[in-house]
Amino acid sequence: MRNRKNFVVVLALVALIAGSVTTWALTTAKAKPKLTNQQYLQSFFTRYVASLNSTACAETLAFYTPGAVSVGAWGVEMDNAAREVYLCGCKQAFPDATVAIKSINIEPTSETSGRITWEFGIRSGKQAAPFLGVMGKNTGASSTTPDDSLAFDHEGVSIAEVETVDNGSLPAINSLKQQLTSLDKELASLDGQASAKRTALVERQTLLNQQLVDLMVSTIKITRQTSFQNMDAFLKKLSGE
């Protein structure tokens, strides 16, 4: 009789443990966050940095909403008009300046919105005009030592809030996605087959994918940006202090 009772107790414990393990497994599965595709945000940022390194100062303005606010050195806020004056002033003062990204962190809230934080370094190159009223006593060109990746004239951190603002592109985006879905199905049916049709479909897929990326990225804009940088230190460096 005692053995039977012990057997019943063991069965109960086994059932309890099994139930606990199952509950833990389900809870863990539910708690696992769904990964957000960061392809479009990464492409947006890559193009944004390319615009900073371009010779056209106004090119960067296309990455901001009309009402975007930038908070720069000394906590000064800039709207689009002030931002254009500042960026063009930078290009005139340092025509050979280059911006390098030292680190980047993307916190997406969707495929086309979220927060992007990056640490940057700037090699100013030779100064050609006054910058914020200061004309350097020397070339200020740590860029003359390109082998030294840590030799930056100016460094800082920027944080940008980005989101999709062009809802008019939604029909075109949906159309491209539908076409790509159809292509995926057709390509799946040709798996393992090396044919001219498959090659043509892959080329079509590549083209549509690029069109989708271009369209998605074009809808992303910066709504607010804050930069933390020691501009006083940079101006002193220009003056040779």
What is the tens place of the pLDDT at every residue in 179-213? Answer: 999 988 888 888 766 678 888 888 999 999 999 99
Instruction: Tell whether 173 is covered by a domain.
Output: yes
* 136 and 203 co-located in one domain: no
Domain that holds residue 205: 168-216
**Tens of pLDDT along 52-75?**
999 888 899 999 999 999 999 999
**pTM beyond cutoff 0.85:** no
pLDDT at 21 over 50: no
If you ran DSSP here, which 8-state letter would residue 33 be given?
P
Is 25 inside any structural domain?
no
Q: 27 lies in a domain? A: no
In a domain? residue 10: no
Residue 196: predicted pLDDT: 81
Strands (E) in 136-219, as ranges, are 154-164
Report whether 121 contacts 100 (CB < 8 A): yes
Task: Look at residue 230 and tell me if it is in a domain.
Answer: yes
CATH number at residue 230: 3.10.450.50
**Does 31 fall in a domain?**
no
Whether residues 103 and 210 share a domain: the answer is no
Question: How much is the pLDDT for 5?
Answer: 47
Comparing CA positions, the residue from 114, 100, 120, 101 lying closest to residue 40 is 114
